[in-house]
Amino acid sequence: MGENEVRALDDVTLSILEGEMVAIMGPSGSGKSTMMNILGCLDVPTDGRYQLDGVDVAERSEKELADIRNRKIGFVFQSFNLIPRTTAIRNVELPLVYAGAKDRGRKARHALDQVGLGDRHKHLPTELSGGQQQRVAIARALVTDPVMLLADEPTGNLDSASSLEIMRILVGLNDQGRTVVLITHEEDIAAFAKRTIRLHDGKIVSDQLQRTRTPVAA
């Protein structure tokens, strides 16, 4: 910022273990977005290192980072980011197309079945509710069997009932052993995680296990 240097993340040391469900919280300008971008291999740190699944990604090329994102990270965004004129199953197949994977249709159908949309394969996003669109987005994130799901405000555009539905799916995936990282500013959403990390001015100010985790009814 002009002559002033701003450290988006400042002397941050953090480990997230396989199978954890972690919420990362903080006010605007705290470093959440930078944290998400680094965890998601969208940015690399200017100093220090970041290891994902045992791979140091700081020195990787853009092409290598793109490959890591495609294979190891499943992204879920607040705005769904579905292609409007493309069916649910084709939206879910996209990461497999980029990866050059075979048997894409079967894998995409299985991912949609996992999020309870087995009867919506051929529907367009405009024919689905907001909660259903987010479930398609989760299926798309799952289809490459990533080591981590990275969810950025996944319930930000949803009503309370749809939000609970999405959190039920994410908690269920975590219970099956999937690593889930939530970026959120909502305390009630963070309460579904097993651990909450709070950022302020680029620093971690607290890192706590949840004493009680919000239960999700079946």
- Choice among 32-36, 122-126, 170-174 with the minimum mean pLDDT: 32-36
What pLDDT does residue 1 have?
55
Using alpha carbons, list the distances in angstroms from residue 143 to 15, 179, 190: 25, 15, 25
**210 vs 4, residue with greater confidence:** 210
Determine which helix (DSSP H) or strand (DSSP E) holds 203, and give its type and residue range: strand 203-209
Q: Residue 21 above 90 pLDDT?
A: yes
Q: Residue 26 above 80 pLDDT?
A: yes
- CA trace torsion 16, 184, 66, 10 (10° rounding): -60
Rounded Cα gap, residues 51 and 39, in angstroms: 9
What pLDDT does residue 69 have?
92
What pLDDT does residue 199 have?
95
Using alpha carbons, list the distances in angstroms from residue 61 to 44, 48, 68: 10, 17, 10
Q: Predicted confidence band at 8 (pLDDT cuts at 50, 70, 90)? A: confident
Sequence-distant (≥ 6) Cβ neighbours of residue 93 within 8 angstroms? 104, 105, 107, 108, 143
Using alpha carbons, list the distances in angstroms from residue 103 to 74, 95, 106: 19, 13, 6
Rounded Cα gap, residues 178 and 21, in angstroms: 8
Q: Is 116 exposed, middle or buried (0-12, 13-18, 19+ CB in 10 A)?
A: middle
Residue type at position 50: Y
Q: Residue 151 above 80 pLDDT?
A: yes
Where do the domains of the chain lie?
21-209
First to last CA, the chain: 49
- Reduced to 3 states, what is the DSSP secondary structure of residue 96? helix
Q: Predicted confidence band at 210 (pLDDT cuts at 50, 70, 90)? A: confident
Residue of 71, 34, 53, 18 lying closest to 152 (CA atoms): 34
Mean pLDDT taken over the chain: 92
Within a 13 Å sphere around the CA of 205, how many CA atoms are in the beta-carbon half?
11
pLDDT tens column, 37-94: 999 999 888 888 999 998 898 888 899 999 999 999 999 999 999 999 999 999 999 9
What pLDDT does residue 216 have?
67
Q: Residue 122 above 80 pLDDT?
A: yes
- Reduced to 3 states, what is the DSSP secondary structure of residue 107? helix
What pLDDT does residue 2 have?
67
What pLDDT does residue 130 have?
95
Architecture of the domain delimited by 21-209: 3-Layer(aba) Sandwich (3.40)
pLDDT tens column, 184-196: 989 999 999 999 9
Give the DSSP letter of residue 60.
Answer: -
Rounded Cα gap, residues 200 and 119, in angstroms: 44
- Choice among 1-10, 64-73, 134-143 with the minimum mean pLDDT: 1-10
